[in-house]
Chain A
């Protein structure tokens, strides 16, 4: 039975880390790549096996728990290292391992000849390991271990080219910003421990399902604290600032960590703790609000970006915003569907952008590209498929997943949410068109020889593109709550009543179809318009942009939010640190420390004169001490 072997899933990448990390010093590039890819590949095969078993099992048997050993034992609080796999987790695991394997494969070609080749693969494997721990952990603490582990790997991989100052700075920024979220996450865990005296998801769900008598306010605070962690990890407004900078890392890293898996961990986690979120009335609206703001804001920023990877980074933020919106609307099955879809097509887009950057020798500014469709057609076509999926054009997978979210927003919160979701989708279509038009169509602005991508580049792109086209099958039958994906997810252990059925009033099918048609028509119009304008009339558009320099800068810099944080956080902190260093540390602390040393030295010098070196004196002092002791004893005796 494969269910018994689920601990092998994270173990295999860990073995890969150990082999490459400890023994790999003498390995050639091929051996390192082989070990890394094999470990992830075996894990993927196992995961497919488990998925298969799960599909043929009855819905009641689809929740697998396995406890390895007791980890922390403190009175009544028992924490095990245990794994929990249900359809929710296996969906995430499939994304991680499938996209992860493809990106491992892609990296063989992409990182060829780079210094730090082995380090890269070790970190990549380590990331897969921690990500699986995060997803599979059956309690908050173990999940937190994975959570921090992927944060570490993200830091290491963003700063892979650490000789470049901007790369190491970006890594540090990601780390620090994540700390803000993780602080909330940790407080949330502490509050859960204090309130429930357990951290196991299954036990928590049982408690919450019963008549628990815990104040709603406490549950709301727990939810919001844990949500803070998710906001940090998933780069949601206002903690999104690290993700655009994280594009300093190698492109496979951006594809794997900062698009397909790690940044989605927040969404996954929200689904996992959904029983908490349901408990109070105002938590879900807050999540939906944050998701909506992020979705629209990041889409605006993406329009103004010039760097091909930053467009995709902001688009990632925006799409994750949509996922949070889905969670906030209570239809997190739709959110998970979008997560899977996004993992596929955004992985495809990043890998495509990597191929483009590789082809044009490190040029990342789309203004300096153009006409690339003639020289690298495979990359261009697959990239277009990814962009269409991102823009939500029928019949790509993005169409099904995004539509469900936007409709869910309408059902739960009314027309305003629909309008914002609609606006975000139109903006998405716009920057998709702009990106493709600038980079691949029109006149070539790139001077120099264009590298043709080799097999290692093409194969992953084609596979992912095929998936992006056909994964939409999971989203039918449309307009119902019973899509194939939802049927499978319905047996997740914490779905219960809510989950895929929106709490709202239900809207007529005709209205739903009408809204979908409107959305599709406008999106297609937007993408075609952008494609046309930026390919045929690029000069006009460039002129237009240069005339509105202020606005473009505003969008390019992400509404100046970085600058705002710099003013209100970074500079005061710097000033305090400087003050602490020059005054507190140098004068007060150093003075105290040195003073202590000086006093000890003086005392020692004085006392050392008593050390004559004659054994007799020491004996005498011992005898004298005995006399004193005996004298004191006698005083007490009589």
Chain B
């Protein structure tokens, strides 16, 4: 069990997040996928922090967690207002940005 294992775990988690973000229609699940990706990055940061015996990696993890919390707060607020506006959370039905 070495550095390599942890990194690979992080990559796998990230890939799952990406695929989830692309294939799902439910907005809440999209946010969950984003959380997955953020977590994978956290994992890699901590692994590097461990590998290099430094504190920076873990400090960044704290920052990322804070940002993730902020992102979720705003994201869920948007989800609520989307639901109010469109009556659905299916993003394939929401296309106001169409040029």
- Pairing of A with B: yes
CB distance B21 to A619 under 8 Å?
yes
Knowing A619-B22, A623-B22, say if A613 contacts B96 (CB, 8 Å): yes
CB distance A612 to B22 under 8 Å?
no
CB distance B94 to A610 under 8 Å?
no
- Rounded to whole Å, the gap between the CB of A89 and the closest CB of chain B is 64
User: CA separation between A160 and B18, bound complex, in Å?
Assistant: 73
CB distance B91 to A614 under 8 Å?
yes
For window 82-99 of chain B, which residues contact chain A by CB distance below 8 Å?
91-92, 94-99
CB distance A616 to B99 under 8 Å?
no
A sample of 8 cross-chain residue pairs with beta-carbon separation below 8 angstroms, ordered by A number, consists of A611-B99, A612-B95, A613-B94, A613-B95, A613-B98, A614-B92, A615-B30, A619-B21
**B96 partner residues in chain A, CB cutoff 8 A:** 613
> How many pairs of A and B residues are in contact by the CB < 8 Å rule?
31
Q: B18 touches which one: A608, A611, A612, A623 (CB < 8 A)? A: A623
Knowing A619-B22, A620-B22, A623-B18, say if A610 contacts B91 (CB, 8 Å): no
CB distance A612 to B91 under 8 Å?
no
Q: Mark A581-624, 1 if CB is under 8 A from B, else 0.
A: 00000000000000000000000000111111111100110010
For window 16-43 of chain B, which residues contact chain A by CB distance below 8 Å?
18, 21-22, 30
CB distance A611 to B98 under 8 Å?
yes
CB distance B98 to A612 under 8 Å?
yes
User: CA separation between A615 and B97, bound complex, in Å?
Assistant: 9
CB distance A614 to B18 under 8 Å?
no
Q: Told that A610-B99, A613-B98 touch, could you supply 5 new A-B pairs with CB distance under 8 A?
A: A611-B98, A613-B94, A613-B95, A616-B91, A619-B22
- Rounded to whole Å, the gap between the CB of B50 and the closest CB of chain A is 22
CB distance A613 to B97 under 8 Å?
yes
- Which residues of B are at the interface with A, using a C-beta cutoff of 8 A? 18, 21-22, 30, 91-92, 94-99
CB distance A615 to B99 under 8 Å?
no
**B95 partner residues in chain A, CB cutoff 8 A:** 612-614
CB distance B22 to A608 under 8 Å?
no
**B30 partner residues in chain A, CB cutoff 8 A:** 615
User: CA separation between A609 and B99, bound complex, in Å?
Assistant: 6
User: CA separation between A611 and B94, bound complex, in Å?
Assistant: 13
In chain A, what residue has the closest Cβ to B33?
A: A619
CB distance A616 to B97 under 8 Å?
no
Chain A: how many interface residues by the 8 Å CB criterion?
13
- Rounded to whole Å, the gap between the CB of A98 and the closest CB of chain B is 70
**A619 partner residues in chain B, CB cutoff 8 A:** 21-22
**A620 partner residues in chain B, CB cutoff 8 A:** 22
Knowing A623-B18, A623-B22, say if A615 contacts B91 (CB, 8 Å): yes
- Rounded to whole Å, the gap between the CB of A5 and the closest CB of chain B is 58
CB distance A615 to B22 under 8 Å?
no
- Rounded to whole Å, the gap between the CB of A617 and the closest CB of chain B is 10
Knowing A620-B22, A623-B18, A623-B22, say if A615 contacts B98 (CB, 8 Å): no
Q: A611 touches which one: B21, B22, B97 (CB < 8 A)? A: B97
User: CA separation between A616 and B18, bound complex, in Å?
Assistant: 11
User: CA separation between A607 and B18, bound complex, in Å?
Assistant: 26
**B91 partner residues in chain A, CB cutoff 8 A:** 614-616
CB distance B99 to A608 under 8 Å?
yes
Q: Mark A7-45, 1 if CB is under 8 A from B, else 0.
A: 000000000000000000000000000000000000000
Closest 4 CB pairs of A and B: A613-B95, A611-B99, A613-B98, A608-B99
User: CA separation between A610 and B98, bound complex, in Å?
Assistant: 9
User: CA separation between A609 and B91, bound complex, in Å?
Assistant: 19
User: CA separation between A560 and B98, bound complex, in Å?
Assistant: 71
- Rounded to whole Å, the gap between the CB of A621 and the closest CB of chain B is 11
Q: Mark A348-373, 1 if CB is under 8 A from B, else 0.
A: 00000000000000000000000000
**B18 partner residues in chain A, CB cutoff 8 A:** 623
User: CA separation between A608 and B98, bound complex, in Å?
Assistant: 8
In chain B, what residue has the closest Cβ to A614?
A: B95
- Rounded to whole Å, the gap between the CB of B70 and the closest CB of chain A is 20
User: CA separation between A616 and B20, bound complex, in Å?
Assistant: 11
User: CA separation between A266 and B94, bound complex, in Å?
Assistant: 74
In chain A, what residue has the closest Cβ to B19?
A: A623
In chain B, what residue has the closest Cβ to A615?
A: B91
- Which among A608, A612, A616 has the greatest number of chain B C-beta atoms within 10 A? A616
**B22 partner residues in chain A, CB cutoff 8 A:** 616, 619-620, 623
User: CA separation between A607 and B99, bound complex, in Å?
Assistant: 9
**B92 partner residues in chain A, CB cutoff 8 A:** 614, 616
- Rounded to whole Å, the gap between the CB of B23 and the closest CB of chain A is 9
- Which among B21, B98, B99 has the greatest number of chain A C-beta atoms within 10 A? B99
User: CA separation between A117 and B92, bound complex, in Å?
Assistant: 69
User: CA separation between A614 and B98, bound complex, in Å?
Assistant: 8
**A613 partner residues in chain B, CB cutoff 8 A:** 94-99
**A608 partner residues in chain B, CB cutoff 8 A:** 99
**B99 partner residues in chain A, CB cutoff 8 A:** 607-613
User: CA separation between A620 and B91, bound complex, in Å?
Assistant: 14
**A611 partner residues in chain B, CB cutoff 8 A:** 97-99
User: CA separation between A612 and B91, bound complex, in Å?
Assistant: 12
User: CA separation between A607 and B91, bound complex, in Å?
Assistant: 22
**A609 partner residues in chain B, CB cutoff 8 A:** 99
In chain B, what residue has the closest Cβ to A610?
A: B99
User: CA separation between A57 and B97, bound complex, in Å?
Assistant: 81
In chain A, what residue has the closest Cβ to B21?
A: A619
**B97 partner residues in chain A, CB cutoff 8 A:** 611, 613
User: CA separation between A619 and B25, bound complex, in Å?
Assistant: 12
User: CA separation between A609 and B94, bound complex, in Å?
Assistant: 17
- Rounded to whole Å, the gap between the CB of B42 and the closest CB of chain A is 18
